[in-house]
Amino acid sequence: MTRTLLLTVASLALANCAPADTPPLASAPPPAPAASGDDKPAPDTMRWLYGSGEAAAASIQTWRHIADYAVAVSRQRKMPESVPLGLPDAEGGVGTPSCVAEDGTMKPFAAVFDVDETVLLNTGYEYWQALTGRPFDIDEWNEWANNGAGIAKPVPGAVTGLRRLREAGIAVIFNTNRNTETAAGTIAAIEAAGTGPAVHLENLFLRGDDAMGGRKDGRRARIAEDYCVIAMAGDNLGDFADVFNANEDAIAERRALAARGRYAQLWGNGWFLVPNPVYGAWQEGSVGEVFPPDARWKPSPSDAPMTMDVQ
């Protein structure tokens, strides 16, 4: 795409000043036509998530893990406890709400899910991005959210996993950053994929339902008022607690926060991460920020060819 545009601009500019002398490019061999449209190589991130058996296997395995875990917790004889979750007023940003309602009764069990790339695959919108190379566009995204029902497929494993949860009496709650104005289209997409039902403000909460924008802690607090949340799943750390996304530029610190201490104990143990390397809050960082100094290596100089970046 870039190459095609460059050549177009260059030849337009040159055409403008011919025939003063021979255009500098005239003797160059015609460029090979760049692959375009459906023939272009897909980005590796999309090859993995939308095209690979590996990603399908990973999500089937994760959804099995979620259902096995939550169904087992729901059958325990001991007093139920909420899993820790991000809350606006909790110390450190994460708390464990009571599973006993104000009237002394037990709150019903629930599992809370992100939607995009956790329950639904946005192959339709991502196809458009891959085809055109266009960056994220909120208007296009909202059109997709409104009209993608039937094209958006379930994440492999989600239909079975959600059915098992509902059969065990566990409420399925969706907490998504799709805009509240796309509620009808989002409900249609969830139900067309076999992952419904979804009812806005009952078991579906969207960005704009409160004043916290894309931060989900407020919606989590609202859900936890009515339910005993025994499992959460998402593709982004913000699906578990907003505190993880307080500083997206602090690459190493963000990873360490998730991977060490109290939070490390929760992965696969109440919190479940569905892998999505296509987009997310992690999509930041230079080579120097992603690779810590003690994890770097270079071949011995005799093996290393001269390049522009090194030596």
| Residue 1 CB-half CA count within 13 A | 12
Q: What is the rounded distance in angstroms from the CA atom of residue 238 to the CA atom of residue 226?
A: 21
Residues 6+ apart with CB under 8 A from 52: none
Which residues inside 157-186 make contact with its own copies, applying CB under 8 A? Answer: 157
Decide: residue 136, CB within 10 A, 0-12 exposed, 13-18 middle, 19+ buried.
exposed
Among 29, 30, 57, 175, binds its own copies (CB under 8 A): 57
The angle, 0 to 180 degrees and rounded to 10, between the axes of the packed helices 183-192 and 138-147 is 50
Shortest Å distance, C-beta 205 to its own copies: 21
Calculate the alpha carbon distances from 158 to 72, 118, 147, 270 in Å: 18, 8, 21, 17
Q: For its own copies, give the closer residue by CB, 109 or 263.
A: 263
Say whether residue 271 binds its own copies (CB under 8 A).
Answer: yes
Which residues inside 276-305 make contact with its own copies, applying CB under 8 A? Answer: 276-278, 280, 282-292, 294-300, 303
Which amino acid belongs to residue 261? G
Among 88, 101, 128, 159, binds its own copies (CB under 8 A): 128
Which residues inside 183-222 make contact with its own copies, applying CB under 8 A? Answer: none
Which residues inside 12-31 make contact with its own copies, applying CB under 8 A? Answer: 13-14, 16-17, 20-21, 24
Stretch that binds its own copies, among 171-179, 193-201, 216-224, 271-279 (CB under 8 A): 271-279
Q: For its own copies, give the closer residue by CB, 92 or 268.
A: 268
Shortest Å distance, C-beta 26 to its own copies: 13
Among 65, 163, 200, 222, binds its own copies (CB under 8 A): 65
Shortest Å distance, C-beta 277 to its own copies: 4
Shortest Å distance, C-beta 103 to its own copies: 36
Among 123, 210, 212, 222, binds its own copies (CB under 8 A): 123
Instruction: Name which of 95, 103, 51, 104 is nearest 224 in CA terms.
Output: 95
Q: For its own copies, give the closer residue by CB, 134 or 166.
A: 134
Instruction: Name which of 93, 98, 66, 94 is nearest 81 in CA terms.
Output: 98
Pairing, β 171-179 against β 204-207: parallel
Among 29, 30, 33, 41, binds its own copies (CB under 8 A): 41
Which residues inside 130-149 make contact with its own copies, applying CB under 8 A? Answer: 130-134, 139-140, 143-144, 147-148
The encoded tokens of residue 85 equal 């979750």
The residues pairing with 95 across neighbouring beta strands, listed in sequence order, are 85
Among 81, 127, 212, 226, binds its own copies (CB under 8 A): 127
Which residues inside 241-270 make contact with its own copies, applying CB under 8 A? Answer: 244, 251-252, 254-259, 264, 267-269
Long-range contacts of 98-103 (CB under 8 A, 24+ apart): 99/228
| Radius of gyration from C-alpha coordinates of the chain | 24
